[in-house]
Homo-oligomer: A and B are copies of this chain.
Amino acid sequence: MRIISIDAADDPRIAAYRDIRERDLTGREGLFIAEGEVVLRNLVSSAGLCRPRSMLIADKRIAALEPIIAAAPADMPVYSVGQAVLDSVAGFPLHRGILALGEKPEPEEASAVLDRLGEDAVVVAAEGIGNHDNIGGIFRNAAAFGAGAVLLDDRCGDPFYRKSIRVSVGAVLRVPCPRPLPLADLVETLKAARFEVIALTPSATEPLAALRPGGRRALLLGSEGPGLPQGIIDRCRPVGIAMAGDFDSLNVAATSAIALHQLTRASGLRTDGEFSPRGIGGEAIAPIR
């Protein structure tokens, strides 16, 4: 059995799980913490992108979580603790009752990731996104609409931050995310790989709603404050989301959801005008939560 009972919060075998929140701030050197049943299900089914190193589970939840444990690598230790020990180790009441320590994948070069994608692939690219909720939301939307990758510039936050993983419902652990590049290099790399780069920007005169799915495309999202630099927009196809006009703006993750729905095959409207109720993966409409 890989299930190892632990009685003391200071047991060295679970030291990596100690004071989760404080360590969020200092980083984890190639490792990440994932929490909750749905996220861990995505971790163990991530097709080898991220390797789980261990799990820490409240003893009363072991039986219910057996399918997730069974899907993890056979040699991966599962530490079982009482709820009080779990709360004490984590540093706060951990109602979800399940944590995993995982190894971040070694990031690939963007060009290598892009070269593997198909002729109708859609990817998301983002500049200067610091907010972890927004990073998580962008990954969740990318996964929901089957985007081939999320490419971050070198001013974005770390998607493997605990909160981003949680908000993404584990999508961070499944969607390829190449090594970050400076924004200008990112745009050139996309163009060299024959992706049309669509810059979502309020300065555009072409509305998103006029576009249809088709061809290799990158949806480029700007930072929450200043947005994309004009010099970058000039090298892309600028497209905007028409709004009511008397209110401020859309959140960047909401923008990604709208653009992905409009420009992936999952939108159900093909370029030839033919109707398809099925998504990219050939599956019917997926759950909305």
Given contacts A206-B277, A207-B268, A257-B254, are A244 and B287 in contact (CB under 8 A)? no
Residues of A in contact, count (CB < 8 Å): 69
- Are A241 and B209 in contact (CB-based, < 8 A)? no
Chain A residues within CB distance 8 Å of chain B: 38, 42, 133, 137, 140-141, 143-146, 169-171, 174, 200-202, 204-210, 221-222, 224-225, 227, 240-255, 257-258, 261-262, 264, 266-269, 275-289
Instruction: Specify how many copies of this chain sit in the oligomer.
Output: 2
Looking at the assembled complex, report how far the CB atom of A34 sits from the nearest CB atom of chain B, in whole angstroms.
14
Residue among B202, B224, B251 making CB contact with A286, cutoff 8 Å: B202
- Note all chain B residues with C-beta closer than 8 A to A286: 202, 241-245, 247-249
Known contacts A210-B268, A250-B141, A269-B210: does B281 contact A244 (CB below 8 Å)? Answer: yes
Q: Are B288 and A201 in contact (CB under 8 A)?
A: yes
A229 to chain B, nearest CB (A): 14
A225 CA to B288 CA, complexed, in Å? 9
